[in-house]
Amino acid sequence: MALNIVIMAAGKGTRMKSTLPKVLHKLAGRALLQHVLDNTAPLAAERRIIITGHGAEQVEAVVAGSPGVAFVRQMPQLGTGHAIQQTVPVLGDEVAGSTLILSGDTPLTATSTARQLVEACGGEKLVLLTIEYSDPTGYGRIIREGESLKAIVEHKDASPEQRLIRECYTGIMAAPTAALKRWVSRLNNNNAQGEFYLTDIVAMAVAEGVPVVGVKTDHETEVLGVNSPVQLADLERRFQRQQAVTLMDAGVRLADPSRFDLRGSLTCGQDVEIDINCVFEGQVTLGDGVRVGANCVIRNAHIKAGARIHEFTHIDGEALGVTVGEGALIGPFARLRPGAELGPEVHIGNFVEVKNSTMARGAKANHLAYLGDATVGERVNYGAGAITANYDGANKHRTEIGADVHVGSNCVLIAPLTIGAGATIGGGSTITKTVAAGELSVARGKQIAISGWARPTKKR
């Protein structure tokens, strides 16, 4: 049976007070609309149709790469019914098809809930997702006769008695496609708002004898829409709490789940511990026994078993990724950039930056150092204040440091450069030529002493 998924994403979002279209505001690092697309992908719909309007070009550009997505424009925006009218030419002619209608600003509707609606519809019934609110102000009310749904009345059109009803329409429905096309063609705007209400099709279905079914959810978070920065922040915390609970149920120890942010995917082994105020973005894996200190940001990284990421460390793998080996010690206040590949038991200390470099087992850079475009051998000791000068103003060059090399403090290694195994670089040296294995290389000005020298003084 053919399935269409229609996502309404045409609204301006005036209360967001932003030039950004509402559906592109981010929840956990992804656009609201992207969440809806991600959650519906497993349904394998024949078509996913996004209705755009305000900021249409911008919205379409952001999600155009999603598979099976087509766009229709709603200009001007004259209500939800008017929005669905724009989709009629592209809904298809399948007699037995179903159409699931979602909102682009309601990002957390679960895949299982969407599938439940589609299955209940079966190409034959009109199915509404409903919820009971203690304060239903502003929501369309469900009008029932016993178990049968007869109508939805918008809040502004409801009578005082109808406004006492607590069961509300969530804005999410599934309908037989052929009937939906027929119903929306008959909508009018004779209401308080002067808009075409999609909810008016309920009465049409009842008049035709089409069964109208209400599927009630108890999970408020999955039907909450975003209309303001306050609502977006509230939904962010709800979603982060959900993710935190899922991780803790799997055995991850979070010091405080209310101070945890996951803006991508996080895969954890056993006995992982995460302290407060940590942010994970992109694709991150933490091996068995990994401990992450407070206030760390980790993006696109693979951290292997037993590693310790100390407080205030920033790891950003971007497209290349970052790898931290088993038992490595990183931070505090360290920065790992794209292409950093650290072997087992590597030490990266405070205010050390590593970019596009490999460090073999046991190598150490413990203080105030920079390693860029370098290959570092086993057990290398890289001194405080040492840097690889890898950029000549036009091109990047590589530094090769052999095993057991000792680089003294405040050295500049000017690439391209090779330092042989077991060599020693004297502190304060600027090295521009190859250093052979086992050699001591010192390149600095000779120390002199001038007796009786006086500092200049200001003329008065």
Question: Catalytic residue numbers?
Answer: 367
3-state helix, strand, coil in the chain (%, to 5): 20, 35, 45
256 alpha carbon, distance to own chain's centre = 20
Angle at 54 between CA 48 and CA 59, to 5 degrees: 45
What is the phi-psi region of residue 418: left when phi exceeds 0, alpha when psi lies from -120 to 50, beta otherwise? beta
N-to-C CA span, the chain: 95
Q: What CA–CA distances, in Å, run from 409 to 46, 384, 424?
A: 64, 5, 11
Q: What CA–CA distances, in Å, run from 127 to 46, 118, 154?
A: 19, 8, 18
CB 368 within 8 A of CB 350: yes
How far is the C-alpha of 433 from the C-alpha of 431, rounded, in Å?
6
Instruction: Please report the beta strands in 320-376, taking only residues with DSSP state E, as ranges in sequence order.
Output: 322-324, 329-330, 335-336, 341-342, 347-350, 353-355, 358-359, 364-367, 370-372, 374-376
Task: Identify whether 160 is preceded by a cis peptide bond (ω within 30 of 0).
Answer: no
Q: Is 62 helix (H, G, I), strand (E, B) or coil?
A: helix
CB 321 within 8 A of CB 303: no
CB 254 within 8 A of CB 248: yes
Do the bridges between strand 30-31 and strand 26-27 make them parallel or antiparallel, or are there none, so unpaired? antiparallel
| Tokens 């063609």 sit on residue | 185
How far is the C-alpha of 404 from the C-alpha of 409, rounded, in Å?
16
